[in-house]
Every structure is written in C-alpha cells, then in structure tokens.
Amino acid sequence: MDILSSQANLAGYKAVVDSFSYFQKAIPMMMTAAGTISAAKVLIVGAGVAGLQAIATAKRMGAIVFATDVRLASKEQVESLGGKFLIVEGAENLETEGGYAKEASEDFKKKQLELLKETLKKIDIVVCTALIPGKKAPIILKKEMIEVMPNGSIIYDLAASQGGNTELTKVDEIISNNGVTIMGEANILNKLPVSASNLYSKNIFNFINNLFDNTNKKFDINLEDEILEKTMVK
C-alpha cells in the first residue's frame, strides 16, 4: 500500500540511469589492450528507498558506490548491496519511529560537511535523495563542496521539488557550475509512466481492498484499523 516506497524505488533507479547517460566516461572498470578505464565512483546521499535502489542500480552497472545517511540502521542495508557506508564520527541514530530521517543537530551537520567535502574530491556522480517528511529538503552540498568535485562530474538532485539538497539546484533545470552538471528534475517519474502507474494503481487497489470484507462482500471501514487510522485527516 506504500505509494511513497513504490515511487521512490523507481526514482532512485531512474536518477542513476539518467546521471550515467550524461556522464562522458564509461561506468565499469575496463581493462583493454589500449589501457585501463577506472570504474566511476558514485555517492548516494540518503539511503532510504530511493537511495538503496540507486546503490543497487549503480553497482549493477559496475560503479564503485559510497553512501551516507543520518540513520545508522542504513549501514547494514548499504553494505548488503555492495556499497561503502560513510560514517560521521560520533554520529547518533537520527531515525524516527516510522523509519524516516529526522533533522540533524548543527554539530552533526558540520561533521557531515567535512566528511563529504573530502569524499567529493574523488566522486564522479552524486545522487541526492535526502528528504525530511513535511519539511524543506536539507542543504547538504554547499557551493564550495561542489567546486572540489572533478571536472565532468554529475549531481542528480531528487530533492529538487522540496528545495534541493544542494545550494545550486534549480527545479526542472540542468545547470553547470565549474564543470559540474547539476540536474534538478521535479518529477522524474514522468519518464517512467508505465511502471509508475502500474505500481501506483496496485498501491491504491491494495488500500481499497483492505476496506472490503470479502466474506460479506461489502465495505467494512474499521476506523480502529492501524493502517486506516494513520491515513485519517483529523
């Protein structure tokens, strides 16, 4: 029934595919008679549903993948997909009861910026997925951090519609800053209409089916149902 998860899963996949299409080098390592091409290095910012699918997609394409998230529980998930989890020194688990990220302290943000700035010097592609439900997207990549990235690097900001995870993101625009391309697609799912619609319709069907009593062949809306109760506007 979780629409957010089904759509975010597709968004993470498509963000990687689109980023790779703009990147002007091969993604996997290639050892040829003419020389060796190093594997592309990808950083996923935010290891939720979209981020985990982005990690899996990038790994399947042969990239070396790094990931960061404020939720320490994400470390095991990232590593199970073959990614390397970047841990902020002295980090605390910033995860809500519902499994979403909550806002980090100023001290955490400062340490995260220092870690990312050093990491970005060797990163070719960044996919930003960090969102806080009901709030403006956190600014994670500052302008000075982007400027240390290699020339020709790509940033795909999936948080663009909520303000973006970078200081430079512009909604529905592809911009270039000091040789780094920043993509800010507001609705990436428009590029996967069939898959997105199929999953969305299944989500809706499952939700409505939960309201139906198959034994008595009628709707039985139980306001104490845990799932239904969470969707009520009070």
Question: pLDDT (tens digit, 9 = 90+) per residue, 169-225?
Answer: 999 999 999 999 999 999 999 999 999 999 999 999 999 998 888 778 888 888 888
Report the pLDDT value the prediction gives residue 97, as an integer from 0 to 100. Answer: 56
Q: What integer pLDDT is reported at residue 157 of this predicted model?
A: 98
**pLDDT per residue as tens digits for the range 17-57:** 999 999 999 999 999 999 999 999 999 999 999 999 999 99
Q: For residue 77, which of 95, 97, 103 has the smallest C-alpha distance?
A: 95
Q: Tens of pLDDT along 58-89?
A: 999 999 999 998 888 889 999 999 999 998 76
Domains of the chain in start order, with CATH, are 3-190 (3.40.50.720), 192-231 (no CATH)
Consecutive H or E run containing 59:
helix 49-60
With the C-alpha atoms ordered 213, 216, 218, 222, is the resulting torsion angle positive or negative? negative
The amino acid at residue 16 is V
Residue 234 is predicted with a pLDDT of 75
Which residues, other chains included, contact 218 with Cβ-Cβ below 8 Å and sequence gap of 6+? Answer: 212
Distance CA(47)–CA(11), nearest Å, equals 13
10 pLDDT band (50/70/90 cuts)? very high
Reduced to 3 states (helix: H, G, I; strand: E, B; else coil), residue 212 is strand
Beta bridge partners of 233: none
pLDDT at 112: 78
Residue 161 has pLDDT above 60, yes or no: yes
Q: What confidence score (pLDDT) does residue 100 get? A: 57
What is the reported pTM? Answer: 0.87
pLDDT digits (tens, 9 = 90+) for 137-148: 999 999 999 999
Predicted pLDDT of residue 143: 94
Between residues 105 and 119, the one the model is more confident about: 119
